Structure 1
Amino acid sequence: MRRARSLVTVVVLSAVGVLLLGACGTLRAGSGSGGAATPTEPERWQTFAPFRVTAARLADDRRTLSVDAEVPGGRKTCARNLKAVVTDTSDRTVWVQVTFSALTGGAPRADCRTTATATAKVRLPSPLGHRELAMDTHTAFTADGAHLPELRLCGNLGCHPAPTGCTPASYDQAVMALDVPNHTSRGEEHCDGKWLVFDVSSRMGPACPEDAGPGCEASLGDRWFFRAEKSGWKPIARGTKGGCADVHRIEPAFPSTLCADLRPLQRSK
C-alpha cells in the first residue's frame, strides 16, 4: 500500500507540474513593475513534481545519488527547494520521489515560461546494485549496462528488455524496432533464435467502430526479416514476395527453412 500511495502521489504531482509553466514563478505581491495587473489570488509556494527527470548518477560509494530534473525557468522565483527522497525499496526496485517548490497566484513571469535543469542529491539506504531506480511510473534507471557514474535510462520495454529468442516478448521487442504505426498487428512468426521473420499489418482508412463494416477492412501488410544481435532483433530486409527472394537478395545466410514456405502478401484487402 505504501508503494502504491507513493506512485499515485508522483503521478498526481506530475499532472499538476505539466500545467506549471503557464502559472508558476510569479512576482511577489506588491513587487511588480510597469503597472502589472493586480493578482487575482495571493501568491504562495506549493510543491510540484518536475516536468521530467533527465539523468541520474551514482557516486563511487554506489549510494549517493544525483538526479537532474527539468523545472520551470532558471531563477529562484521560478523553482526552488528541489528534493529527492527515497519513498520505498524492495529487492528489485528503489523508488525515489523528486519535488520542487514554485509560486502560484499573482502575475505570471515571462522568464518562468522556459525550463531549466536542476540537480538534487539523496543517499540511498544501501547500494543500488542491480536494482532498478524508479522515479515515477514512466521513468526508470539502472546501473546494468551503464557507463558509471551515469545510470542508464530505461526504455519503453523496461530496463531489461526480453533477449532475442523465440518468445512473444522478444517479438514485441522486434516490432518496436520497426518504423510502423502504433497498433500494428503481428502475424505468424518463424524463428530459430538467431533469425526471425513475421508479417505485420497496419489498419488504413477512416476510423471505424468495433463492429466495423465494409470500408473498414483496409490494411497495409509487410513482411520483415530480422537477425539477432546483442542490442536485440535487428531488421535486415522487408518485402511481400513469397519464399526467400526478398531476404536472400540482402542476406543470403538467412535459413531457407524459415522462409521457403512463405506465401506472397497482398498489399491491401
Structure 2
Amino acid sequence: MPRFVKPVLWTIGVLAAGGLAFWLLLALNIPYQSTAAPETTPGTTSATTPVPPPVPPPAPPAERTAWIADVRPGPDDHSAVLHVTLPTCAEGAHTQVTETGTRIDAGVLFRVRPDPDCQEFPADFPIRTAAPIGKRMVVVNSTESWGLRSGGWKKCDWAVNCDPPPDHCDPAWIGQLEFSAEAEFPGTTRACDQNWLIHDLQRHSGQRPTRVAYRWAGNGWSSVGGATGGGCAEILSTEPKFPTALCKDLAPPG
C-alpha cells in the first residue's frame, strides 16, 4: 500500500468517529449549554450598604440644687445638717461641700425623674468638713451665709456677715442701709451716735442727695424721717425724740 494512503485513512476514521459522536448527542437529546459571561448593566457598580453609626445613649437629666431652708448642728465640730425641701421625684440626691480657711460652700444636688404627681417633702442632709467649722461662714443657696455661734446656727447678714461690728456707725452698717435704700452710689454720713444717724443718700447719678434720719433698731438702722433743708425742724416733725445736737448745725443736703 502506498505510504500516503495510511494517513488519509486515519484522517477519514477520525472524522467518522466525530460525526458518530455528534449524531449520538442529537439522538439522545442531551441539552447543550454554553458558558457565557454574566450579564452586567452598563454604568452600574455594586455598592455596599453603609452601616449607620451607633446611637449614643441619652444624656442623664441635669442636676438641680435644692433650696436650703435651715442649717442645724451636727454631732461634732466638723459637721452640720442641711435642712432642705426636695421633690418626691428626686433621685441621686447628694451633698456637695467645698471649703477654704474662711468659708464653706455647701449644697444638695439631685436629678428629677419624670413623674406627673411630684410633690415636695422635707429632708435632712448631714455634711462633714475636713477642718473644724469654727467661725467660718457656711454659704448656701449661692448667697446666704450661716454661722455657728453661741446658741447654735444663725443666718448672717450679707453686709455685716456673721460677726456684726459692735460700733453701729461702722461702714458695714451704713452699707447695709444703703443697699436697702437701693442707692447706686455711696452717700455721706453727717452725724452718728450708737442710737441715731443722719445720712445723705446718693440714690441716682445726677440727683441731689436725699437726707434721711435713722434710729437703731437692734439689727440695723431704721429710717424715721427725711429733710430737704438744714437744721432739725423737718426731722423733729416726724421724730420728736431725735437729739438736736446731731442736726442743729447741719447745712442742707447737696
Calculate the TM-score normalised by the size of structure 1.
0.58
C-alpha displacement of 1:101: 3.3
In structure 2, the residue matched to 1:139 is 144
Distance 1:43 1:187 in 2: 58
Q: Deviations over 1:193-235 (max 9, x none)?
A: 432101223339xxxxxxxxxxxx4x36532112334312232
Contact kept in structure 1, 2:104 and 2:136, CA below 8 Å? yes
Judge conservation of contact 1:164–1:232 (CA < 8 Å) in 2.
no
Does the C-alpha gap of structure 1 residues 60 and 235 become closer, same or farther in structure 2, counting only changes over 3 Å? Answer: farther
Aligned Cα root-mean-square deviation (Å): 3.5
Looking at both structures, which has the greater relative contact order when contacts are Cα pairs under 8 Å and sequence separation is at least 6?
A: 1
| Preserved CA contact (<8 Å) 1:164 1:233 | no
Q: Which residue of 2 aligns with 1:5?
A: none
Whether 1:238 aligns to 2:252 is no
C-alpha separation in 1, matches of 2:131 and 2:253: 55
Shift of 1:143: 2.0
In structure 2, what is the equivalent of residue 170 of structure 1? Answer: 173
- Following superposition, the deviation at residue 239 of structure 1 comes to 2.9
Residue 122 (structure 1) aligned with residue 127 (structure 2): yes
Tell me, what secondary structure is at the counterpart of 1:186?
A: strand
Distance 1:117 1:236, change over 3 A: same
Cα 1:258–1:181, aligned 2, differ >3 Å: closer, same or farther? Answer: same
Q: Which runs of 5+ in 2 are unaligned?
A: 1-54
Describe the superposition over 1:96-127 as per-residue Cα deviations: whole angstroms up to 9, x where unpaired.
Answer: 34322345xxxx65545x76554322234455
1:197 matched residue in structure 2: 198
1:26 is matched with none
Gaps of 5+ in 1: 1-39, 205-216
- The correspondence for 1:74, drawn from 88, 100, 110, is 88
Indicate the percent of aligned positions where both proteins have the same amino acid.
24
Equivalent in 91, 110, 118 of residue 100 of structure 1: 110
Distance change >3 Å, CA 123–CA 188, structure 1 → 2: closer
**In the alignment, does 2:57 pair up with 1:55?**
no
Name the amino acid aligned to 1:170: W
Residues 119-162 of structure 1 deviation map (CA, whole Å, 9 limit, x = unaligned): 322234455332221336423211226x53xx322333233344
- CA distance in 2 between counterparts of 1:132 and 1:45 reads 33
Flag the structure with larger Rg: 2
Alignment of 1:10-89 (within 5 A): 42-46=57-61, 48-71=63-86, 73-75=87-89, 79-89=90-100
TM-score, structure 2 as length reference: 0.61
Amino acid at match of 1:121: P
Q: Is the 8 A contact 1:243 1:262 kept in 2?
A: yes
CA contact (8 A) 1:163 1:232 kept: no
Offset, 1:67: 1.1
| Aligned-partner SS, 1:175 | helix
CA deviation string 1:153-192 (max 9, x = no partner):
2333233344443333231123245xx3452652343223
Residues in 2 aligned to 1:143 and 1:88: alpha-carbon distance in whole angstroms: 15
Query: 1:58: Cα distance to partner?
Result: 1.0
Label 1:127 to 1:241 Cα distance change in 2 as closer, same or farther (>3 A): same
